[in-house]
């Protein structure tokens, strides 16, 4: 089928043809024949790179241009949301029936907000979590959605993301029974079951536009699925590295999947050391620019420094601990062919189009706290493998698992390469997860009786697979908890959320965390300090696993806890009565001490060394602390606690920036973080007023503050820079940039 023959407005066809797509891929044709453009619900299950997005694009544009509808595109990952947003942007050239242009929006951030500005957009790209949160706020425009696209719907099987996705779909179906659902999936065994749940047609194909060779690397030989084998030149002692070097020689790029953030960073460093020699001079110069951009963006951190360092040498790492801006630079630079090897955690496993001729799956095991190592699913392996050989970039691709022994090589061939992906199971019926969804269902008025709740959860994939009875007991137990903790009220048949319950649901925190916060808020606290709040949030389940003390630290932490005992605002377990609870408590104290070190302006390196935490854990702790302090402040407003509120507000800001109180006014300026703020403060620029009066040359003379930033600061505070002063500064900057890239 030709693009020109599609039954969509000709302006759409022209744009698609202009982007290079003149003929549809077979899976696309099948999807259209199955009624995707006639408003039918559809599950399209088709291999990686088989062009599922185009079907979504066509459907979306039909809704917007012909039906005056509104579209939501759900993705499981931010990197994927970025990519889809960029791809959809070309359609803003189209005009709707009212003459206005098609508008594309993206929303992936801050969970406690309704983002009313999204109302203006026709197509909204978002993450599953963000849309769950928007639904909890009952954002008004949600009722106008006429098409929902669920990308990577097989992630229903993911313990964390899956439940959110199925609840979001169930809610959208309830809000708007006429909504069209288009679900895009990898090829899985039980597509029909998902389709039945969504009352959808399904199309399954095995077609892939670009050949993907899968194999196992053992020492210097790759054994492929089809019986072929290939020797890799042994340039170093590391087989993966040799494979990446061979790929570079053939003009390609490599994407390496690592099991943890730490491994991703270590691998990138290792690769960078070897590939540098293979880079041309202009390539190095250009990478130098990227490295400088990384350093100039936001505050310098240990992560941004090591990222810049590896980028300079042609490698990079990508994980959830990186800032959005940094991730963008890396993704773009890899797409432009500059970065030769990119190491990533599963943040890049799903959906993205990258020029990776070779994908290396470095480790097929994952580690989970309290669970140990376990092998990843076939489905996840196939997704990672599918990042290789994307039609836009390569004519072929290969995906390679790394084995250490011949026995392991056999196992990998059998269990991954030749294996079929698993069935998809709903992961909803877990108390921790259901607690929050039950409350949200009542609070956002998706149900207001017990019966209504059963009916709502009766629409989930879980109920479809296991029937509603299976989940009733759990719901009843959760209802009792929510009632006892005053998050819901019951009048006869009616179940309503209290103000507390509603706020908890919107804040997107676990009701158990909210109870801990509320109970602490209600106490009379004679001795309320930073530590009080930092420990209290570390005690909530939303903080995630606590930072466990090493045995050599235990005594010191126990002594610290004893000395600060009056400051704790949750019950402190007695060591001799409950050793397990006490051990957990010490972990909470260590977590709090780590956050405290952060806001006392200890450097990241010092924190990592002192507490022996992984950088990833440090960032997670800081991120979660920020979010939980926000929740604390909001709940504090509800309870009107005068003692808590100012402290919670101040700590939220301080944790966000990692600064002492005195730096708060300075770090509000864009481009100024904890390090630059401290430089300015120590140089005597302690207030905005002081900065206003400072001659710009004095600012540029400070370490880490170049002319660009100095001008940006002046612009923000209303200072004026003369044109000729600026020109002089700019010349200086150009010279500096040149010097930086040449040496």
Ligand X SMILES: Nc1ncnc2c1ncn2[C@@H]1O[C@H](COP(=O)(O)OP(=O)(O)OP(=O)(O)O)[C@@H](O)[C@H]1O
User: Cα-flanking dihedrals φ and ψ of residue 111, to 5°?
Assistant: -80, -20
Q: Closest CB to ligand X among 382 and 539? A: 382
The DSSP element (H or E) to which 229 belongs, if any, is strand 229-231
User: Residues 108-112: contacts with CB within 8 Å, 24+ apart?
Assistant: 108/78, 108/81, 111/507, 111/508, 111/627, 112/506, 112/507, 112/508, 112/630, 112/631, 112/634
The DSSP element (H or E) to which 740 belongs, if any, is helix 723-742
Residues 461-480, mask of contacts with Mg ion (x by CB under 5 A): --------------------
User: Cα-flanking dihedrals φ and ψ of residue 48, to 5°?
Assistant: -60, 145
The token pair at 656 is: 């966000």
Residue 397 in contact with ligand X, rule: CB under 6 A = no
Output the smallest distance, CB 386 to ligand X, in A: 5
Output the smallest distance, CB 459 to ligand X, in A: 26
Q: Choose the binding region for ligand X from 51-59, 132-140, 662-670, 689-697 (rule: CB under 6 A).
A: 51-59
Output the smallest distance, CB 729 to Mg ion, in A: 46
Output the smallest distance, CB 77 to ligand X, in A: 11
Residue 484 touches which of Mg ion, ligand X, none (CB < 5 to 8 A by kind)?
Answer: none
Output the smallest distance, CB 41 to ligand X, in A: 18
Q: Closest CB to ligand X among 16 and 218? A: 16
Residue 157 in contact with ligand X, rule: CB under 6 A = no
CA-to-CA distance for 170 and 428, rounded, in angstroms?
12
Q: What are the helix (H) ranges across 74-217?
A: 78-88, 128-136, 161-175, 191-197
Output the smallest distance, CB 332 to ligand X, in A: 15
Q: Please tell me the chain's helix, strand, coil percentages from 3-state DSSP, rounded to the nearest 5.
A: 55, 15, 30
Which of 353, 426, 436, 624 lies at the binding interface for ligand X (CB under 6 A)? 353
Residue 346 in contact with ligand X, rule: CB under 6 A = no
Instruction: Write out the DSSP string of 402-436.
Output: EESSHHHHHHHIIIIISPPPPPP------HHHHHH
Output the smallest distance, CB 195 to Mg ion, in A: 18
Residue 88 in contact with ligand X, rule: CB under 6 A = no
Residue 24 in contact with ligand X, rule: CB under 6 A = yes
* Residues 421 and 187: beta-carbon distance below 8 Å: yes
Q: Is 508 left (phi over 0), alpha (psi -120 to 50) or beta?
A: left
Query: Among positive and negative, which fits the CA dihedral 25, 31, 35, 41?
Result: negative
Residue 125 in contact with ligand X, rule: CB under 6 A = no
Residue 208 touches which of Mg ion, ligand X, none (CB < 5 to 8 A by kind)?
Answer: none
Q: Strand 201-204 and strand 42-45: pairing?
A: parallel
Apex 52 CA angle, 47 and 57, nearest 5: 175
Output the smallest distance, CB 23 to ligand X, in A: 6
Which of 76, 162, 215, 351 lies at the binding interface for Mg ion (CB under 5 A)? 351
Residue 21 touches which of Mg ion, ligand X, none (CB < 5 to 8 A by kind)?
Answer: ligand X
Output the smallest distance, CB 666 to ligand X, in A: 44
Residues 51-80, mask of contacts with Mg ion (x by CB under 5 A): -x----------------------------
Output the smallest distance, CB 351 to Mg ion, in A: 4
What 3-state DSSP class applies to 65? helix
Residue 351 in contact with ligand X, rule: CB under 6 A = yes
Q: Closest CB to ligand X among 118 and 186? A: 186
Which of 239, 346, 386, 677 lies at the binding interface for ligand X (CB under 6 A)? 386
Residue 49 in contact with ligand X, rule: CB under 6 A = yes
Q: Closest CB to ligand X among 94 and 283? A: 94
Q: 239 to 298, contacts with ligand X by CB under 6 A?
A: none
Which of 1, 11, 17, 21 lies at the binding interface for ligand X (CB under 6 A)? 21
Residue 187 in contact with ligand X, rule: CB under 6 A = no
Residue 392 in contact with ligand X, rule: CB under 6 A = yes
Which of 13, 30, 51, 621 lies at the binding interface for ligand X (CB under 6 A)? 51
CA-to-CA distance for 194 and 244, rounded, in angstroms?
39
Residue closest to 258 by CA, chosen among 328, 342, 141? 342
Which of 31, 42, 45, 50 lies at the binding interface for ligand X (CB under 6 A)? 50
Q: Closest CB to ligand X among 397 and 658? A: 397
Bridge partners, residue 221, by sequence: 218, 231
Instruction: Write out the DSSP string of 696-728.
Output: HHHHHTSTT--HHHHHHHHHHHT----HHHHHH
Residue 616 in contact with Mg ion, rule: CB under 5 A = no
Residue 391 in contact with ligand X, rule: CB under 6 A = yes
* Residues 155 and 377: beta-carbon distance below 8 Å: no
Residue where the block lists tokens 């490295």: 291
Output the smallest distance, CB 357 to Mg ion, in A: 19
Q: Closest CB to ligand X among 355 and 656? A: 355
| Number of residues forming the site for ligand X (CB under 6 A) | 20
CA-to-CA distance for 484 and 29, rounded, in angstroms?
55
Bridge partners, residue 211, by sequence: 396
Please report, for residues 198, 212, 299, the alpha-carbon distance to residue 668 in angstroms, rounded to integers and kept in the order given: 47, 49, 13
Contact footprint for ligand X (CB under 6 A): 21, 23-25, 28, 46, 48-54, 186, 351, 353, 386, 390-392
Contact footprint for Mg ion (CB under 5 A): 52, 351
């Amino acid at each position: 089928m030709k693009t020109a023959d599609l039954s969509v407005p000709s302006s759409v066809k022209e744009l698609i043809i202009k982007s290079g797509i003149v003929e549809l891929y077979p899976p696309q044709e099948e999807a259209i024949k199955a009624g995707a453009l006639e408003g039918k619900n559809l599950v399209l299950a088709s291999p990686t790179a088989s062009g599922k997005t185009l079907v979504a694009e066509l459907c979306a544009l039909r809704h917007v241009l012909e039906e005056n509808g509104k579209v939501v595109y759900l993705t499981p990952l931010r990197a994927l949301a970025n990519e889809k947003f960029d791809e959809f942007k070309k359609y803003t050239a189209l005009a709707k029936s009212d003459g206005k242009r098609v508008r594309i929006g993206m929303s992936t951030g801050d969970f406690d907000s309704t983002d009313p500005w999204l109302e203006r957009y026709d197509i909204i790209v978002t993450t599953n979590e963000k849309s769950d949160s928007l639904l909890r706020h009952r954002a008004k425009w949600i009722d106008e959605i006429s098409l929902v696209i669920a990308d990577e719907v097989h992630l229903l099987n993911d313990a964390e993301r899956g439940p959110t996705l199925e609840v979001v779909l169930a809610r959208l179906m309830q809000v708007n029974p006429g909504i069209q659902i288009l679900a895009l999936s990898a090829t899985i065994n039980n597509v029909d079951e998902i389709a039945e749940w969504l009352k959808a047609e399904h199309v399954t194909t095995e077609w892939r536009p670009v050949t993907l060779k899968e194999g196992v690397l053992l020492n210097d030989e790759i054994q492929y699925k089809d019986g072929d084998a290939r020797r890799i030149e042994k340039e170093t002692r590391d087989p993966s590295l040799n494979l990446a070097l061979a790929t570079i020689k053939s003009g390609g790029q490599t994407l390496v999947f690592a099991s943890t953030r730490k491994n991703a960073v270590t691998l990138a460093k290792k690769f960078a050391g070897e590939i540098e020699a293979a880079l041309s001079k202009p390539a190095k110069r250009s990478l130098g620019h990227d490295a400088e951009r990384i350093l100039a963006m936001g505050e310098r951190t240990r992560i941004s420094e090591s990222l810049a360092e590896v980028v300079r040498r042609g490698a990079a790492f990508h994980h959830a601990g990186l800032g959005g801006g940094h991730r963008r630079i890396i993704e773009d630079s890899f797409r432009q062919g500059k970065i030769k090897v990119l190491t990533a955690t599963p943040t890049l496993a799903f959906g993205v189009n990258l020029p990776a001729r070779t994908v290396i799956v470095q480790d097929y095991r994952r580690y989970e706290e309290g669970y140990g190592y376990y092998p990843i699913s076939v489905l996840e392996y196939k997704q990672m493998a599918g990042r290789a050989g994307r039609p836009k970039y390569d004519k072929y691709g290969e995906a390679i698992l790394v084995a250490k022994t011949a026995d392991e090589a056999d196992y990998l061939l059998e269990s991954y390469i030749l294996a079929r992906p698993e069935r998809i199971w709903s992961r909803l019926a877990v108390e921790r997860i259901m607690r929050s969804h039950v409350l949200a269902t009542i609070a956002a008025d998706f149900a207001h009786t017990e019966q209504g709740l059963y009916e709502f959860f009766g629409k989930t994939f879980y109920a479809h697979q296991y029937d509603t009875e299976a989940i009733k007991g759990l719901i009843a137990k959760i209802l009792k908890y929510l009632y006892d903790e005053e998050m819901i009220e019951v009048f006869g048949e009616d179940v309503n959320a209290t103000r507390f319950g509603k706020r908890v649901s919107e804040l997107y925190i676990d009701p158990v965390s909210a109870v801990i916060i509320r109970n602490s808020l209600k106490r009379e606290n004679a001795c309320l300090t930073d530590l009080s709040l930092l420990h209290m949030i570390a005690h909530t389940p939303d903080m995630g696993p606590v930072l466990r003390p090493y045995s050599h630290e235990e005594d010191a932490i126990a002594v610290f806890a004893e000395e600060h005992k009056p400051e704790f605002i949750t019950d402190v377990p007695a060591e001799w009565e409950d050793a397990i609870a006490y051990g957990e408590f010490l972990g909470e104290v260590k977590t709090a001490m780590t956050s405290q070190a952060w806001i006392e302006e200890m450097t990241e390196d010092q924190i990592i060394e002192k507490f022996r935490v992984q950088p990833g854990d440090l960032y997670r702790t800081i991120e979660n602390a920020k979010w939980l302090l926000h929740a604390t402040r909001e709940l504090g407003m509800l309870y009107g606690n005068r003692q808590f509120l100012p402290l919670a507000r101040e700590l939220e800001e301080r944790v966000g920036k990692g600064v002492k109180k005195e730096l708060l006014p300075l770090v509000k300026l864009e481009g100024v973080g904890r390090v630059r703020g401290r430089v300015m403060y120590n140089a005597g620029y302690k207030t905005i007023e002081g900065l206003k009066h400072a001659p710009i040359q004095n600012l540029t003379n400070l370490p880490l503050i170049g002319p660009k930033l100095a001008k940006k600061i002046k612009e923000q505070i209303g200072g004026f820079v003369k044109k000729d002063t600026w020109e002089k500064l700019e010349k200086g900057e150009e010279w500096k940039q040149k010097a930086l890239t040449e040496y």
